[in-house]
Amino acid sequence: MELADKLIKATGYDEISLTSLSICDYSDIQNLVNKLIEKYKESNVGISLPSLRIDSFSVNLINEIQKVRKTGLTFAPEAGTQK
């Protein structure tokens, strides 16, 4: 939260992008997104999750993100074998 606040103040950007190999594996992602939305909704700062595994995201999470503004979603399919 502190880093997001510093970045928004320093850059003036209107989107926070949470990037990771698998951001939804973060155990408290729903709470983090809720807090970011609540803090920045008046400033119209959107939250982006640019690389999601199909098996790890939740519809509730996406609905929360869209409360500020619509955003694109990128799903990264996982494959355990060449098949």
What pLDDT does residue 77 have?
67
- Confirm if 67 and 45 have CB atoms less than 8 A apart: no
What pLDDT does residue 66 have?
81
In a domain, 7, yes or no: yes
What is the Cα–Cα distance from 73 to 54, expressed in whole angstroms? Answer: 11
User: Domain range holding 14?
Assistant: 2-65
What pLDDT does residue 78 have?
65
- Confirm if 64 and 34 have CB atoms less than 8 A apart: yes
In a domain, 54, yes or no: yes
In a domain, 71, yes or no: no
Q: How far is CA 83 from CA 1, 78, 79, in A?
A: 41, 11, 8
Q: pLDDT (tens digit, 0 to 9) for every residue of the chain, 83 residues total?
A: 999 999 999 998 898 888 887 777 888 888 999 999 999 988 899 888 877 777 767 778 778 888 787 776 677 666 666 66
* Number of domains composing the chain: 1
In a domain, 82, yes or no: no
What pLDDT does residue 82 have?
63
